[in-house]
Structure 1
Amino acid sequence: MTKNEETNIVAAMESAAFADEVLIVDSGSTDRTQELAEKRGAKFVSHPMDESGFAGQRNFALTQTDAEWVFYLDADERITQLGRDVIQDIVAQNSNNVYKVERKNIVFGQLMNYGVHRPDYVARLFPRTAVQWQGRVHEGIKTELPVKKLTDILQHYTYTNWYQYFAKFNRYTSLAAEELAQRDKQISNIGIIAHTLGAFFKSYILKKGFLDGFLGFVMSFMSMAYTLTKYMKLQNIYRLKLDRS
C-alpha cells in the first residue's frame, strides 16, 4: 500500500523481486510513486482510502490478484535474504497456514531492540482466500487457519526525520480517535491521565525501552504523547457533536 512513497518504493520492490507479481494499491500519490512502480513492472491500482481505513485497503488488494499466496509489504519495509528463501519454501510446500513474520524496526537509523519499537510480529503471508482484514489503524486478520510465526523476515525503516514522524503521528492519532468514536468508546479526564502515564511505563519499564538509550526514552515519551493525543482527539469528536446538536 502506498501514498507518496517515491523515496521508498524502488527499494521495497527490489526486496520483493522474487515474487511472481507485484501489486501496488495506492491511495492518492501525487509524486513519482506510480511512475517508478510501473517502470519496474508493478501492477498499479488507485484506490482512495475510505472509512474502512487500512483494513479496507488490504481487503481491496486481495480482489486485485489471482495469486494463490500473497505477502503484504509496506513501502518502508524490506524483505531480508533469509525472508525471501523462507517465503519461497513455504509457497512451494503450499502449507495451509497463516504466517506472522518478525519485523525489526529501524528508527532514525537505529535498530530498536526494546520498548514500543522492539521487534514485532505482523500477519503478512497466507493463502489469498484465507483471511479478512479488520481495523482502521492497527489492522489485524480474521482467519480459521492455524497461525505460525517466522523470524528475521522484515526490516522496517519506520522514520527518517521528525517532520515525517509528526505527519504520521497526526494522521494515525486522528484515525485511531475516529475508530474509537465509531465504536462508541468514551473516556474521562482521569482515564486519559491513567492511559497516558501507563503508556510510558509500559514502553520504558515493562518493555525495557531504557536499554535502547536516549532514543529509547524519546520514543517511550512519544508513545505517551500519542496516547494523550489520541484520547484528546476522541474527546474533541464528542464535543463537536454536542456543539452541532
Structure 2
Amino acid sequence: MSLSVIILAKNEEKNIQDCIESALFADEVLVIDDFSTDATVEIATKLGAKVYQHAMDGNWGAQQTYAIDVATTDWIFFLDADERIPEVLQQEIKAAVTINEKFAYQVPRLNHAMGEPLYHGGWYPDYGFHLMPRENFRVEGFVHPQFVHPYQARKLKNHLIHYTYSSWEQYFNKLNNYTRLAAEKNYNKGKHALFIRDIVLRPCFAFIKMYLLQSGWRDGRIGFILASFHFCYTMAKYVKLYALECDKGAKVCE
C-alpha cells in the first residue's frame, strides 16, 4: 500500500524544511500552498515534494478535500507545517499502512509552547485524525474541520511533535483570528452571547478547567500563562459574538 503525507502551507519557510524531512519516508509528500510570498515553494520543491498552489480563502475543510483529490496513493496522512513525525511514529504509520486495515487513525500530539513541552492542562495527548484511507474521505468546515468517512476510529501509540507557538506574536495573531472566526461561526448558527453567562462566567470556568481540573499548574509558569490566555480567548470569542449581535440590533444589547 502507498502513502501520501499532505501539508497545507502558507509562508512557512521557517518550518517547511524540517516538516518535509520528517515525512520523506512516505511515497509522496504533497504541499498544498496558499500562494506563499516567501521561500516556502522553493524549499519544498528542492526537497522533492509535489507542490500544488490552491487558494484556501479561509476554508480549511475545502483545502484538505482538494488535497485528498490530488493525492495518488491508497493512504493519506495530514501534517501541519509546524508538526514533525518522529522516527518511532514513522515506523508505526508504515506498519498500519502495510497491514491495510480500513481504519481512521487518531494520533496523539505533544504540543510545545515557546519551546516547552505541555503534558497537562488538556494539551496532551491531544488526539486528532491524521492517518486514513484516501477513498471515501472528505473534510467539511472552516475553523475546526470535521472528517467525514465511513471508517471506525483507532489510535496510534506514538505522538507527533507539534510546535504550537514559537512566539507570543504568533499566539496573539492566532487568538485574534480564531476568535473572530469562532464568533462568526456561532453567529451564523444563530447562537447568542449573554453577558453574565458567556462573557463573565465562561472565561472563569475555562481558566479553572485548564489550570486546576486538567492540572495545567504542573507545567509551571507556562501552564499558568496559557490558562490565563485561555480565559482571554474564551472571553474574546463571546465578546466578538456579542458585538456582531449588537451590530445587527439584537435585543440582547438593548
Is residue 68–residue 138 contact of structure 2 (8 Å, CA) maintained in 1? Answer: no
Q: Structure 1 residue 167: deviation in Å?
A: 1.1
What is the aligned partner in structure 2 of residue 96 from structure 1?
102
Give the one of 73, 79, 84 matched to 1:73. Answer: 79
Q: Which has the higher helix share?
A: 1
Give the one of 156, 172, 182 matched to 2:188. Answer: 182
CA distance in structure 1 between the aligned counterparts of 2:16 and 2:73, rounded to whole angstroms = 21
Q: Structure 1 residue 10: deviation in Å?
A: 0.2
CA distance in structure 1 between the aligned counterparts of 2:83 and 2:171, rounded to whole angstroms = 16
Amino acid at match of 2:101: S
Q: Structure 1 residue 179: deviation in Å?
A: 1.4
What is the aligned partner in structure 1 of residue 235 from structure 2?
228
Q: Structure 1 residue 241: deviation in Å?
A: 3.1
Instruction: Give matches, 1:153-164, under 5 Å.
Output: 153-164=159-170
Large movers: runs of 4+ above 3 Å: none
Q: Structure 1 residue 197: deviation in Å?
A: 1.0
* Runs of 5+ unmatched residues, structure 2: 1-7
What is the aligned partner in structure 2 of residue 148 from structure 1?
154
Is residue 50–residue 56 contact of structure 1 (8 Å, CA) maintained in 2? Answer: no
Q: Percent identity?
A: 40
CA distance in structure 2 between the aligned counterparts of 1:82 and 1:130, rounded to whole angstroms = 28
Give the one of 75, 82, 89 matched to 2:88. Answer: 82
Q: Structure 1 residue 237: deviation in Å?
A: 2.0
Amino acid at match of 1:101: V
Instruction: Give matches, 1:24-35, under 5 Å.
Output: 24-35=31-42
Asked if 1:22 is matched to 2:33, the reply is no
CA distance in structure 2 between the aligned counterparts of 1:18 and 1:239, rounded to whole angstroms = 52
What is the aligned partner in structure 1 of residue 220 from structure 2?
213
What is the aligned partner in structure 1 of residue 4 from structure 2?
none
Amino acid at match of 2:241: L
Give the alignment's TM-score, normalised by structure 1: 0.94
Amino acid at match of 1:70: I
Q: Structure 1 residue 30: deviation in Å?
A: 1.3
Is residue 34–residue 56 contact of structure 2 (8 Å, CA) maintained in 1? Answer: yes
Q: Structure 1 residue 117: deviation in Å?
A: 2.4
What is the aligned partner in structure 2 of residue 238 from structure 1?
245
Q: Structure 1 residue 222: deviation in Å?
A: 0.7
CA distance in structure 2 between the aligned counterparts of 1:103 and 1:128, rounded to whole angstroms = 22
Amino acid at match of 1:149: K
Is residue 103–residue 119 contact of structure 1 (8 Å, CA) maintained in 2? Answer: yes
Is residue 99–residue 125 contact of structure 1 (8 Å, CA) maintained in 2? Answer: yes
CA distance in structure 2 between the aligned counterparts of 1:88 and 1:142, rounded to whole angstroms = 23
| SS of the residue 2:108 aligns to | strand
Is residue 136–residue 176 contact of structure 1 (8 Å, CA) maintained in 2? Answer: no
Amino acid at match of 2:141: G
What is the aligned partner in structure 1 of residue 132 from structure 2?
126
Moved more, 138-147 or 122-131: 138-147
CA distance in structure 2 between the aligned counterparts of 1:48 and 1:10, rounded to whole angstroms = 21
Give the one of 42, 49, 57 matched to 1:50. Answer: 57
| SS of the residue 1:129 aligns to | coil
Q: Structure 1 residue 211: deviation in Å?
A: 0.6
What is the aligned partner in structure 1 of residue 15 from structure 2?
8
| SS of the residue 1:73 aligns to | strand
Amino acid at match of 1:168: K
Q: Structure 1 residue 128: deviation in Å?
A: 0.6
* Runs of 5+ unmatched residues, structure 1: none
| SS of the residue 1:137 aligns to | coil
Is residue 116–residue 219 contact of structure 1 (8 Å, CA) maintained in 2? Answer: no
| SS of the residue 1:22 aligns to | strand
